[in-house]
Amino acid sequence: MTSPGADPVRLAVAVEAPLHSGLHGPLDYLSERPLSPGALVRVPLGRRDVPGVVWTTAPGDDEGHALKAVTEVVDALPPLSARWCDLVKFTSTYYQRGLGEVAMAVLPPELRKLDNAGLASRIAKLRKAYDKPVPAAPAPVRPELTSDQADALAKLAEVNLPGAAPVVLLHGLTGSGKTEVYLRAAEAALAAGRQVLVLVPEINLTPQLEARFAERFGGGDTPRRIVSLHSGLTPAQRLKNWLAAHLGLADLVLGTRLAVFAPLPRLGLIVVDEEHDPSFKQQEGARYSARDLAVYRGKLEGSCVLLGSATPSLESWQRAEQGRYLRLTLANRVGGGVLPKVRLADMNLLPKVRGATTALAPALVAALAKRLERGEQSLVFLNRRGYAPVLHCTDCGWKSGCPHCSAWRVFHKGDRTLRCHHCGFTQPVPRACPDCGNLDIAPLGQGTEKLEEQLAAALPGARVARIDADTTKHKGALEASLSAVHAGEVDILVGTQMVTKGHDFRRITLVAAVNPDSALFSSDFRAPERLFSLLMQAAGRAGRDAAQADRSEMWVQTWHPTHPVYTALRQHDFKAFAASQLKEREIAGLPPYVHLALMRAEARTPEAARDFLQAAADLAAELPGANELLLYPPVPTTIARVAGVERMQMLVEASSRPQLQRVLSPWMAALPSLRATHKGVLRWALDVDPLAI
């Protein structure tokens, strides 16, 4: 509150205004004293008191007396840095979301609830805990570097000078020791008194990598403090770790995409592991790419950004080809191991009988049996959970569609349910066809449950385990399953793509991909890139122990064995695959040679969604620079209806980012004016640089 005799200071404060309110920038408030940008405050907004971040000191005018006053200054927390504010501002501007929306979304929920006294108490407890000495631990044992690793680190040291902010693409085969390069680079940054941020694509990879970093940096004469940031933490844990990062108490922060916004006052290195992974793209709210923001943040902080992958995204690969990124290569596996030999099981050679589409190739079964005889492990993955994608009636053709979505309900045999994986609608399996009463309703297609059953029947006595979203939904289930695999208690591991990347399974010598062909003919132009990456990552799970590498194999069951994706896979030739894909995209005018935005609309009817998008296109056509853009007609999304809501999308294309941004900003500001005439529209959202179309 302002005191009667004080001259109030006018402040611009970033607060989360209601969506589509048109209030995208900071709002003005009065304060009894100047506050630094980045300070946390509580301010009135409508009838509520909401948290906000001081953005700037706003210029005064004659209407200053009408402004509301700041309710509380949360000065127990040091202000967020100017570089953090710049990162949030860029995210807001580039991805076309409200400044306050982004600023509040990237702060811990618990922080937004606490008053000054409550936060001061939390900080005092945290400092007291960090003042306690770290228990003594033996000094870490560092493995001897391979020649590839030594060369990469030497070149990294040459370019990673103070303030240089290089972006380095570490292209290394699976099993080539990329993690050791991360550890050594982090070691150098920590020795210089800097902090390190490590981003991973998925929560289930965070504990594994955290253990590697704790083993390396948790002991010796100068043990380091390591914290994690991801959505799997409780609100209290997330706030504690966020505060440790912001106060400079934590030396290393490991996390998923949201951790790119972790405030780190001494940031010296950013590592993005598996930088190609689509999980780095946020799909709700501000649809940002954490990988791209990591690159931008590196420039803001003057810090090195290390992007690592065995199958880099084509965008990163092209920038390395152009010389914008430094590319370092790890061309050999640690220990001299070789990559698994890729074998294709041609499904066209199987007898043409009912059910052949979900059969296991005899050659694959024989290869699995050989592993069992030798006491080795195998990994068989199918990127579809459940028992079968659909139930159908052999008499009338009924299928288990979802009444609320334009999708099938998946048959889960374990609990005898039909579940929609889009809206969650679940029902028991009917005893007879709902349409004609026929008792012969049968599963169509194959999921991981059925695959697990088939393998157990084909290989009696084999210990088959399954890891997917259904078996790991309970706390600790994933860790327990992985521990069983590492301990040798599993002969054949069945799973979705969650088991194909990042895991160091030392006993697995065979990996098999069952029916991955659907991605070959997808309407999404990125589908071949994602499939090749997934198969290369999966192949890398085999033969990670050099002693077994010479007999490691990858099997792919396919109906299209001559497809170029499989040809490149057999040679483990990412460079050739990337070159052919980039050439195709250049000819077709696709990213990274053009720049896209996708406007999505959700409405009660498809007509309402389409009319809104068409009106939005007409609005865009009137803006300066619109003649430089190409707006495609509205079309339904791949799954057109979810939970009773109809969804349409409209693609916007430009030859450069500046061209696109010049139109997007005024366009988004004008769109709320359409609500009055398009009341059937429930919501809309813009996705800049969309990953899926």
Which segments are annotated as binding site for Zn(2+)? 393, 396, 402, 405, 420, 423, 433, 436
Cβ 537 vs Cβ 311: under 8 Å:
yes
Interatomic CA distance for residues 30 and 46, integer angstroms: 16
Interatomic CA distance for residues 600 and 48, integer angstroms: 31
Interatomic CA distance for residues 560 and 517, integer angstroms: 7
Interatomic CA distance for residues 103 and 593, integer angstroms: 31
What 3-state DSSP class applies to 149? helix
Which residues fall within 8 angstroms of residue 127, CB to CB, at 6 or more apart? 247, 249
Interatomic CA distance for residues 528 and 524, integer angstroms: 9
Interatomic CA distance for residues 289 and 692, integer angstroms: 13
DSSP letters for 373-441: HHT-EEEEE-S--SSBSEEEETTT--B-B-TTSSSBPEEETTTTEEE-TTT--EEEPPSS-TTT--S-E
Calculate the CA 410 to chain-centre distance: 25
3-state DSSP helix/strand/coil percent for the chain, to nearest 5?
Answer: 35, 25, 40
Element (H, E) at 88: helix 82-94
Question: How far is CA 195 from each of CA 124, 152, 247, 485, 582, rounded to the nearest angstrom?
Answer: 22, 21, 11, 34, 36
**Token code pair at residue 171:** 């292209």
433: left (phi over 0), alpha (psi -120 to 50) or beta: beta
Smallest Cα–Cα separation from 684: which of 634, 636, 649, 651?
A: 649
Helices (H), 248-378: 290-301, 314-321, 362-374
Cβ 677 vs Cβ 615: under 8 Å:
yes
Which residues line the annotated binding site? 393, 396, 402, 405, 420, 423, 433, 436
Cβ 243 vs Cβ 208: under 8 Å:
no
Q: What is the 3-state secondary structure (H, E, C) of 22-78?
A: CCCCCEEEEECCCCCCCCEEEEEECCEEEEEEEEEECCCCCCHHHCCECCEEECCCC
**Would the CA dihedral through 115, 120, 121, 125 be positive or negative?**
positive
**Token code pair at residue 478:** 């994933």
For 523, counting Cβ atoms within 10 Å of its Cβ (0-12 exposed, 13-18 middle, 19+ buried), the class is: exposed
Beta strands in 244-357 (DSSP E): 252-255, 267-273, 304-309, 326-330, 341-346
Q: What are phi and psi of 654, to 5 degrees?
A: -140, 155
**Token code pair at residue 650:** 């409209």
